[in-house]
Amino acid sequence: MRISVHSARLHRAALPLACALSSYAFAEREAVAYERQWHVGLEGGYALAAFPDASTSGFDVGLHGSYGVSDAFNVRAHANVSAFDLPAPQTSALFVSGGVGAEYIVDILRWVPYVGLTLGPNVMRRQNGPTVLRLGIEIPAGLGYQLTRNWTIGAEVRYRLLVLGESELSPTHGFVGLARAEFAWGS
């Protein structure tokens, strides 16, 4: 196999360019800590719920917000609605959940990982069935990418455990996978 002098020069020039672009994406920049910053955003994605008679999947949409109490910890809140298809005779379920809690965040690079814990009410309504209220304990974990100082996009997964209340009529646990976009302001 023969490599021309021109393509060898092109390959040697491409390597520094690729290194420069990747270092820009992961490079440290001006500190943009979450301390005393507000964040609000939208999220949407996939939901999975384990009902006593079957597991089912659906769609989830919601709002989220957080406030930085220190460089590493945020207070967070969320409200979500999930819709599920169920086997006959009950054909659908609507699940409304909310939670308030805290999260640990590492925001020294453009890529921002976090993990947290929230508690809150979860209301489930099956078609032609009773409304069930349960306490939800959720463990969110995610990764955001700061496009600018004010805009972040990312992904989050949450494990949801439902306790207290009537477990035979509602899910016992589930997962949510969400795409997120948020706006930040403050110091």
| Each residue's pLDDT tens digit, 147-167 | 998 999 999 999 999 998 777
Per-residue pLDDT for 54 more than 70?
yes
The residue type of 63 is L
Residue 64's nearest CA partner among 164, 155, 172, 161 is 155
Residue 133's nearest CA partner among 106, 110, 177, 163 is 163
In this structure, are residues 103 and 69 in contact, taking their beta carbons and an 8 Å threshold? no
Q: Residue 87 has which token pair?
A: 């086997």
Helix (H) or strand (E) run with residue 19 in it: helix 5-26
DSSP state of 35: B
Q: What is the arithmetic mean of pLDDT over 84-95?
A: 80
- Return the minimum-mean-pLDDT range out of 8-22, 37-51, 156-170: 8-22
Q: Residue 66 has which token pair?
A: 């957080």
Pairwise pLDDT comparison (85 vs 82), residue with the higher score = 82
pLDDT in tens, 59-73: 999 999 999 999 899
